[in-house]
Structure 1
Amino acid sequence: MAAGLDWAALPSVIIVEIFSYLSKSDRVRTSSVCRRWRQCLFHPCLWNRVDYELCLSKRQKSRFLSDRCGHFIREAIVKFNSHNIAEVRECFRILKILSENKNIQSFALQPTSCHIEWPESQPMLYDRYLESIEAIIKSSRKLKHLSFGCVEELLDQSDRIVELLARNHANTLESLHISTVKEDSENYEIVDMDVNDFDLFKNLQSLSIDYDHLSNDLLKNFIDCRKAKLLHLCIHVHGVHPQHEKITNDTWRMLRNHCPDLEVTLNLIHSFDGTDALLDILQSSMPLANYRQFFCSNINLAAIDFISTHFGTTLKSFHIIDGYNAGSPNQYTSDSDEDPFVMLSWRCPKLEMFTLISYEIADNDVIAIARLRGEKLWKFEIPLNCIYSMLEDEDGVWIGHGCVDQSFRQQVCDSLKREWKPLSDTDLPLAVFDVQADAEKAYMSILHRDQMPL
């Protein structure tokens, strides 16, 4: 290093270039060189994306970043506890700042719950949330990604939101997530939505939507050579009513032919009707990649067989979680000699994630799944207390839950070619054991990952 070099005399373009090669933590440390370097730390090109976390320990940092960068960042994710009044208010403050940012291209809410606790002292805060979200849509010059984090009440205005997006960002919007979570799947109102608005989106590649709004006409909007091809379609199923339009296999076949890389995710959430009607929802030409059931209180074994039979070339993940029945795992009875989940593992060579929580399964079937999928099954979740073994002693043969031996675990580890152990009770969400507990903690983070930008 040359003696007497004045680091503060470097041109700002060089300082910013130096920062661009560093991690955010290293940039902060490097900015302590002098005041001029500190000023360059917040150059707009260094802060394309900010994740605002509004919990008490990180709120001050998020507030500082929103004040300093909120007017020019391009991507923003707001993570907050939607039952904490202080965090709900702080989220609104950030929304107001972002609503004046013409550069914003990606915006996502990630609340802890599908419902927001609105403060009684601010009865109009709900309306002001919606106004700020609409202002973000109107002020942005090039919005590409928008996610509402499954908040049901914000999406009561989904028809208005889709209309605004079609009017302002028909040529730029790439991903839109307007699916919701309805904890009371048997009692909710369906919001009207004009599916013709979707015909205006020329570059939409990822869509999350409720089954209530899915129709043949909506899907046919994406069968258009003038548009970008749809890559991801995530469907949330709650209630299933007679007025729901059945998506025909012909529609799925046409869509799949036009969009050969399309992957469909099907999420059944507190959907008792959904499991019963699953064979009507599933169609053989649907490119199902991810199937999930969250607290649906039932398994449709005929539908599981349909999935394993028809989606062998597409299925990548399978996830079922439910609550215990009177403190014990639920049982399922198959008419086949083979376990339906073993058959699923055999018929679906692309399966890489398998979760079955709250339903009992034989130790030999767990071993069989591991052998069939091998090291390709990088996520394999089975609770210990759901695994049963046939045991024998001087009093005869009996069934024991959670009584697996070291040989069982070693066989699974050998098949997966990695360390593996069953889930313990402490690994499971409280809602598995307590029907009154908050079930959202078991699935909200999964649903948020579905709604990340492309």
Structure 2
Amino acid sequence: QQSASLKRLIVHVCEFRSDTQPIDETVWHSIASIMPNLRVAVHMLNAHETFRKYSRVLRPGMPLSHLRMYFCSSLNVDLLCYLSVHYRSTLECLDVIDSVTEPALRYHNLFRAEPDPLVLLAWQCKKLTSLTILGYEVLEVNLLAIAKLRPQLRRLNVCADCVMTLQYGHLQMNRQFVEDEDGNDAFIQYGICTNSIQTIVSRNNVCGV
């Protein structure tokens, strides 16, 4: 009866040893059935590893509510998609904090046509209320999408210097950029937050850039 009252388990990860065995899926399912209110928070510090090793800790059956990654430099498409698929009903907080470098880190190719995996995560994870992404390039239009898709967000933190606006067009002979949706060139600005994003942030009471 006492064990059934456990509501939070915090797991700290600072390295991945080759001899460390992952917790079996059947164990997590058993834990979830015995303690249905249990939520797990995973904190990773300086754990520079591949997604394959992260998945040894982040098991699908784990009732993950908080994932905090500090100076891991490892945010990528595979990890974000994995979180969206397996923790869509439990994830409440995602904090990814890395050093602000020049150029900033990238979690996916911003010029590809595929949907941004961070936007998909905000859409899929119904309980998400806190999102912090520091040190990574983020398109302004994707911040707007996140705020609209997940209006109950109480906290959305990004680095202003990493916010990008992207315009398509072409360069003239005098090197002047002319905006044109059919153009072959892309013009990027950093650190520019237009009125549209400020409006979304204030309307949703979100802590902004």
**TM-score bracket relative to the smaller structure:** 0.7 to 0.9
Equivalent of 1:395 in 157, 174, 177:
177
**1:262-277 correspondence to structure 2 within 5 Å:** 262-273=38-49, 277=53
Between the aligned partners of 2:43 and 2:133, the Cα distance in structure 1 is 15
Q: Which amino acid aligns with 2:105?
A: N
Q: Quick check: 1:409–1:420 contact (8 Å CA) kept in 2?
A: no
Between the aligned partners of 1:389 and 1:330, the Cα distance in structure 2 is 16
Change (3 A) 1:420 1:228: closer
Equivalent of 1:314 in 90, 111, 115:
90
Displacement, 1:252?
0.4
Equivalent of 1:344 in 114, 121, 125:
121
Residue matched to 2:103? 328
Residue matched to 1:382? 158
Q: Which amino acid aligns with 1:407?
A: S
Q: Quick check: 1:293–1:321 contact (8 Å CA) kept in 2?
A: yes
Displacement, 1:238?
1.2
Partner SS for 1:277:
helix
Partner SS for 1:272:
coil
**1:42-57 correspondence to structure 2 within 5 Å:** none
Q: Which amino acid aligns with 2:67?
A: Y
Q: Quick check: 2:49–2:74 contact (8 Å CA) kept in 1?
A: no
Between the aligned partners of 1:355 and 1:277, the Cα distance in structure 2 is 22
Q: Quick check: 1:234–1:267 contact (8 Å CA) kept in 2?
A: yes
Displacement, 1:413?
2.6
Q: Quick check: 1:371–1:412 contact (8 Å CA) kept in 2?
A: no
Change (3 A) 1:275 1:237: farther
Displacement, 1:372?
1.0
Deviations along 1:98-121, whole A, 9 cap, x unmatched? xxxxxxxxxxxxxxxxxxxxxxxx
Does residue 355 of structure 1 match 2:137?
no
Between the aligned partners of 2:156 and 2:197, the Cα distance in structure 1 is 15
Q: Quick check: 1:345–1:373 contact (8 Å CA) kept in 2?
A: yes
Displacement, 1:274?
7.0
Q: Percent identity?
A: 25
**1:119-268 correspondence to structure 2 within 5 Å:** 203=2, 227-268=3-44
Larger proportion of strand: 2
Q: Quick check: 2:154–2:207 contact (8 Å CA) kept in 1?
A: no
Partner SS for 1:355:
strand
Q: Quick check: 1:238–1:273 contact (8 Å CA) kept in 2?
A: no
Between the aligned partners of 1:302 and 1:274, the Cα distance in structure 2 is 10
Displacement, 1:395?
1.8
Residue matched to 2:198? 409
Change (3 A) 1:420 1:324: closer
Partner SS for 1:246:
coil
Between the aligned partners of 2:50 and 2:12, the Cα distance in structure 1 is 10
Q: Which has the larger radius of gyration?
A: 1
Q: Size of the alignment, in residue pairs?
A: 194
Partner SS for 1:247:
coil
Deviations along 1:10-38, whole A, 9 cap, x unmatched? xxxxxxxxxxxxxxxxxxxxxxxxxxxxx
Deviations along 1:337-388, whole A, 9 cap, x unmatched? 11111011000110000000000011110000000111x1111101111110
Residue matched to 1:124? none
Larger proportion of helix: 1
Partner SS for 1:389:
strand
Displacement, 1:273?
3.1
> TM-score by structure 1 length?
0.40
Between the aligned partners of 2:191 and 2:162, the Cα distance in structure 1 is 7
Deviations along 1:425-450, whole A, 9 cap, x unmatched? xxxxxxxxxxxxxxxxxxxxxxxxxx
Residue matched to 2:183? none
Q: Quick check: 2:134–2:159 contact (8 Å CA) kept in 1?
A: yes
Deviations along 1:55-93, whole A, 9 cap, x unmatched? xxxxxxxxxxxxxxxxxxxxxxxxxxxxxxxxxxxxxxx
Q: Which amino acid aligns with 1:399?
A: I
Q: Which amino acid aligns with 2:98?
A: D
Point out where structure 2 has 5 or more consecutive residues left out of the alignment: 170-175, 179-185
Displacement, 1:407?
2.4
Residue matched to 1:369? 146
Q: Quick check: 2:156–2:208 contact (8 Å CA) kept in 1?
A: no
